[in-house]
Amino acid sequence: MTARLYVIAGASLLLFLLIAGTVSAHVTVLPAETTQGSYEVFTVRVPTEQPSATTKVEVQFPDSVSISRVQPQSGWSYVFGKNADGDNTSIIWTAEGAGLAEGEFGEFKVQGKVADDAAQLVWIAHQTYADGTVVEWSGGEDAETPASVTVVHPGAGEGNHHGAAAASHQPAAEVGAGNSNWLASPALYVSIAALGAGLFSLLLTRRRNKSAAG
């Protein structure tokens, strides 16, 4: 009986780790927070969650940000989508080789200016796999495939309009975004409850066995 409960507890722990890892495996745009009027480098983080490789990533730019530059990514080509005025409205990265295999992720960077009256930036993305599957990251916060959202804070002076000032807060924002998304997930608490139940059952059975032996 004790051995069986060890297995149950171990399975509960494994379930916890798997769910926690899956919850955070979304296409996200970092930083999670920025400032009105700032020049920002946005990082599109793309994990591959299927056995098939990721071969194409399309991101639609929010209306409240003007993207002007892109950082070249080795092994990938890119093309901007434009409107009638010639403004960049989207970007498509296409793998020149095998792409991102299962268990891998890639980061793609663009740079632009946040509008002075922006409230939030909603990034809609389309992830295409080698087998033809397309995942649309366009849902709400609680959706299975949510769009990434960047919160925009009010501007606080001319210092916010310099690229160096924007870049200086980016690492902290990225760390905060990853931790908050992971901790806010209902699935995380379900897995914690399952783990706790398994450990409680294990301890209770061991105590009963000791009482019976005595």
pLDDT along the chain (214 residues), means of 10: 50 42 72 97 97 98 97 97 97 97 97 97 98 96 94 74 42 39 45 57 63 60
Q: Is the dihedral of CA 49, 50, 53, 56 positive or negative?
A: negative
Report the Cα–Cα distance between both ends of the chain, in Å, rounded. Answer: 18
User: What confidence score (pLDDT) does residue 74 get?
Assistant: 95
Ordered by start, the domain boundaries in the chain are 2-15+189-213, 26-162
13 burial type by CB count under 10 A (0-12 exposed, 13-18 middle, 19+ buried)? middle
pLDDT at 202: 60
CATH of domain 26-162: 2.60.40.2230
Contacts of 66 by beta carbon, 8 Å cutoff, 6+ apart: 87, 88, 112, 113, 115
The pLDDT value recorded for residue 155 is 84
Q: Which candidate, 93, 159, 158, 160, places its Cα nearest to that of 127?
A: 93
pTM of structure: 0.66
Q: What does the mean pLDDT of the chain come to?
A: 78
In SS3 terms, 21-44 reads as HHHCCCCEEECCEEECCCEEEEEE
Tell me the sheet residues that pair with 65: 114
Distance CA 180, CA 91 (A): 27
| Per-residue model confidence as pLDDT tens digits over 111-148 | 999 999 999 999 999 999 999 999 999 999 899 999 99
Among residues 26, 204, 21, the alpha carbon closest in space to that of 125 is found at 26
